[in-house]
Structure formats: structure tokens, C-alpha cells
Amino acid sequence: MKKAIFPGSFDPITLGHHDIIERGVTLFDELIIAIGINADKNYMFSLEERKQFIAESFGNNPKIKIVTYEGLTVHFCQENNIDFILRGLRNPADFEFEKSIAHTNRDLSSIETVFLLTAASTSYISSSIVRDVIRNHGDYTKLVPKTVRIK
């Protein structure tokens, strides 16, 4: 069984994430969307909200599991028999950053990183841009799945 993890903070999940998940799930028997918990980070959305946004989008897909975790992604992978890390690439800067992480992960374990290019229509979207649009009362709805709602 080929299991992959798609890790991130998903604060919030964007249409770019959504695209990678929809395409990535076709490559693996199980895709685990793993929301990382970092105590040093100030999140706009609570862990429960982020998990709910994802569950409302993908909760009905039997190949997708949604979890939270702390610590190194490779340790979570080793503890849960996950062989692949799925990552999306928007631009050359993402590639350079993700390449360094992938090399480090390969040095720490035998886990492979699989990269998918984001769709051209979503390659400009990042969670930090979405948060900035929200903070400044812009129309964020064009950047995120319909499940992301501001209270």
C-alpha cells in the first residue's frame, strides 16, 4: 500500500493546496493530510477550524485521512509507515526551499519526496497572501475552497 503525507499548516487551506490534494490522491492508495502544530507560530485560524475546512472539502474521500502532528515530519512518517511526502511547487523559490528539506529528510530517513507543480491558475496563491487579504478586508473567496469561512 502506497501511503503519502501532505504536510502543512493550512492556515488556511488554499485552492493551490486543494489542487495538489485532488491530483495527489490519484497517485497513492492513501493520502494523509497532516496539519503540523508549531507552538511558536501565531495562526489566524484555530487547529479545529483548519481541520474542519479540510474535512468539509475531503472528508468523504475514503483515500484521504486528516490528522494533526507535532515534531519532524519524517518522524511522523516513520511512526505511521508512510513512505512518501507530497509537496506542491509554485515557483523556483519553492523548489529551492523544498529541495533542501527533501535532501534533509532523505538524509534522516528513506522517505521519498514527490513534487507536483501547482496549476498555473493557482500558482500565485499562498496562505500568507490569503491571510493578508483577509486582514485587509479583501475578497479572499477567490483564493480558497468554499469551505473556508470567516466568522
Residues marked active site are found at 17, 41, 90, 127
* Cell 535532501 found at: 103
Separation of alpha carbons 13 and 130, rounded Å: 9
> Which residues have CB under 8 Å from 21's CB, separation 6+?
6, 31, 33, 57, 58, 64
CB 146: neighbour CB atoms within 10 A?
A: 9
Provide the grid cell at 50. 483548519
- Cell numbers representing residue 57 in the block: 472539502
